[in-house]
Structure 1
């Protein structure tokens, strides 16, 4: 019985949808770009920084650690945006996987991204390009949800 439970447990990963705002001469929401990393393995898909939860680690700590490891962007470079959390569910090699994404703004839009060996490229992309790169519908939907959320926040100001 215990073995059955372990096999059915979902893989869990956490990360950030990292965005930056470009120079103020570009009107919102067109001034927003999203960070996507291209994997150096498999089909070389594009994804926001994310990774698996280590034993004893909470989800937000995982997201911060993975973003630092994969993109060189630590907590000191990011402003976590309260009120946005997206949960994705899909299968990887026949096993269920869940991914939690928080939203974080890069404090300094010029801050360089430093890739780990897990990724071969990165791109800052506006919404439509980010959705083309993302390929998976659930990730595209997440990017659009982020964009709508940021637009709504902008309109409140």
Structure 2
């Protein structure tokens, strides 16, 4: 019965999964840029506090809910019969890259918390370089999904 529901709603689940992933990626690409700009201001200033609020809201309103949706919808899609063969290595690599994105979000969340406490953890240049990591992982994920190598 559950698998029938998944089969009947496969395209809807897939579309929602992609939309959630796009929202999550937007946050993953924007947060390190915010952290880089945040670094330019002194703690206890209005601008510094504004950046802390922006980072907190981005995480709580967009990134965390969309990440949860990505994983929930992804797990539902994996349950659709015939969609994923767990013996295909492309899926394992893709899943590891997605876990890498989740770990990256956790790391950036920790950095944003340290900023909000008045302790910028790394340099502006570090956050500018960190801004490229989600896109590199995205390239790997998209190519794995489209081409299904191995």
TM-score (norm 1): 0.27
* Richer in helix (by share): 2
* Richer in strand (by share): 1
Higher RCO (C-alpha under 8 Å, 6+ residues apart): 2
